[in-house]
Amino acid sequence: MMLRWGGEEAAPFRTDIGGKTMTRVTGGAAALLAASIAATAIVSPAWGQQSYPTKPIRVVLPIPPGAGVDIILRKAGEALLPRLGQGFVVENKASANMVTGADACSKAMPDGYTICGLSALSLSYNPHTISKLPYDADKDFTPVVNMFYLLEGILAKAALPANSVKELQTFAQKNPGKLNYGTLGPGSTTDISRLWLEEKWNTRIAGIPYKGGPAIVQALAAGEVDFARIGAYNALGLIKSGKVKILAVGGSKRPKVMPKVPTLQEVGLDGIPPDRAWWGVFVPAGTSEAVVKRLNSEFVRLFRQRDFADWLESQLVEIAVGTPDEFAAFIRKDREYARRLVVKYKVPVQ
């Protein structure tokens, strides 16, 4: 069974016979010929699990270098090198709403040598908020594995006169429209979380768009924006140095690396969208099922490996690996969740 998500099922091997005359082969010769063809298919170097890969794998990311997901996939490439025999070559294609990177992935050759790290923004939210999206979120990608959920935090600039979410809420209510909030652009998950806070706190908060989490974090450190809700891993170094404050963090329990930071649930912000900020690995639609299975098995094995899992936990992510089919079903539900949010908050279509 092919794992193409939303697309047509295609056979991995095709034989074209030219000429106008075909010779009929019968009996034992036919059986021998069939066995020979089957054996050729099994050991085909283009798609065989044992021979793949035979050259470096291109990794397309819709985020800038140095972002948490970028760091994680580069480290994953290093860890997988002994098993795959080939390394990862990362291409960062950052843009507002992460459109450019997803588009590049959708148009890549489905030969197993382009994989992509994509998130809820690219595949759950953009289809509802961008009218002329250059890719089809249903048909252009095959899911490989859901890697993890980000533990997103409420981050603030050091000079903000609020040292807790309660103090931040009070300040926002007393100063409607004066606080600004870093986002990834109108209609993004970060912008919808801003709208959610406006509604919950009954105030106004200005959104300022940036091209990626690291850019938002740098803006917080420079005092250009007041606060934001993004992956906390983006700011680990700046939090430790005191240049950025973290007022709360996602997850069901306080992370080991930040035991004094309350969870969003503890401070009354459980339910703030997105529900779960996921990142997964995809390949262009039409990529061989054998390649999808091989990549899935390698990522699952690595992410469940104790030392790598411990490192991921230190990066403030929650591991979520499973099968491609499970991931595809999850995305369908997440896109419907995104649609309801877009309708509820009247997010304008770009």
Which carries the bigger pLDDT value, residue 9 or residue 140?
140
Question: Which of the listed residues 249, 269, 299 is the one where a domain comes to its end?
Answer: 249
**What's the rounded Cα separation, in Å, for the pair 212 and 83?**
32
Residues 301 and 235 in one domain: no
Does the pLDDT of residue 32 top 50, yes or no?
no
One domain, residues 298 and 211? no
163 and 238 together in one domain: yes
Structure tokens given for 27: 């009996």
Do 120 and 169 belong together in one domain? Answer: no
pLDDT at residue 241 greater than cutoff 90: yes
Q: For residue 18, tell me if it sits in a domain.
A: no
- Residues 281, 141: one domain? yes
For the segment 268-280, the average pLDDT, to the nearest whole number, is 87
| Average pLDDT of span 67-95 | 95
Q: What is the pLDDT of residue 11?
A: 38
Whether 265 is in a domain gets the answer no
213 part of a folded domain: yes
5: in domain:
no
Of the residues 249, 266, 289, the one at which a domain ends: 249
> Would residue 24 count as lying in a domain?
no
Report the mean per-residue pLDDT for the chain.
Answer: 87
pLDDT (tens digit, 9 = 90+) per residue, 171-200? 999 999 999 999 988 888 899 999 999 999
Other CB atoms closer than 10 Å to residue 95's CB: what's the count? 17
Helix, strand, coil percentages in the chain from 3-state DSSP, rounded to 5: 40, 20, 40
Nearest to 184 by CA among 94, 103, 307, 244: 94
Considering the domain architecture, whether residues 199 and 161 belong to the same structural domain is answered as yes
Domain that holds residue 173: 152-249
**DSSP, res 262:** P
Check which CATH number belongs to the domain holding 295 and give it.
3.40.190.150
Listed in sequence order, the residues at least 6 apart from 143 whose beta carbon sits closer than 8 Å to its beta carbon are: 3, 5, 280, 281, 282, 324, 327, 328, 331
Start-end of H helices in the chain: 27-42, 68-84, 99-106, 120, 126-129, 165-174, 189-201, 213-222, 236-241, 289-303, 306-314, 324-344
The total domain count for the chain is 2
Higher pLDDT, 152 or 43: 152
Q: Which of 146-155, 209-218, 332-341 has the lowest mean pLDDT?
A: 209-218
Among 229, 249, 269, residue at a domain's last position: 249
Domain containing 164 — which CATH number? 3.40.190.10
Coil, helix or strand at residue 116: strand
Q: Are residues 289 and 329 in the same domain?
A: yes
CA 263 to CA 45: how far, in whole Å? Answer: 50
Instruction: State residue 252's pLDDT score.
Output: 85
Phi, psi (degrees; rounded to nearest 5) at 27: 65, -145
Classify residue 116: in a domain, yes or no.
yes
Take residue 41 and report the two structure tokens written for it. 């298919």
Q: Do 143 and 157 fall within a single domain?
A: no
Q: Report residue 114's pLDDT band, with 50, 70 and 90 as the boundaries.
A: very high
Asked if residue 78 lies in contact with residue 66, where contact means CB atoms within 8 angstroms, the answer is: no
- In this prediction, residue 29 carries a pLDDT of 44
Same domain, 235 and 289: no
Q: Are residues 131 and 173 in the same domain?
A: no
| Residue 161 predicted with pLDDT over 90 | yes
Nearest in space to 206 (alpha carbons), one of 222, 233, 186, 231 = 186
- Please give the single-letter amino acid code of residue 155: L
Q: Quote the CA–CA distance of 348 and 333 in Å, as a whole number.
A: 22
pLDDT band at residue 33 using 50, 70 and 90 as cut-offs = very low
Q: Using N-to-C axis directions, what is the helix angle for 189-201 and 165-174, rounded to 10°?
A: 70
Residues 328 and 339 in one domain: yes
Whether residue 173 is found in the same domain as residue 193: yes
Closest listed residue to residue 344, CA positions, set 127, 138, 128:
128
Residues 144-168, buried b or exposed e (16+ Cβ, 10 A)?
A: bbbbbbbbbbbbbbeebebeebeeb
Domain assignment present for residue 78? The answer is yes
Residue 41 has pLDDT above 90, yes or no: no
Pairing of strands 57-61, 88-92: parallel
d(CA 310, CA 303): 9
| Domain assignment present for 100 | yes
Cβ(201)–Cβ(169) below 8 Å: yes
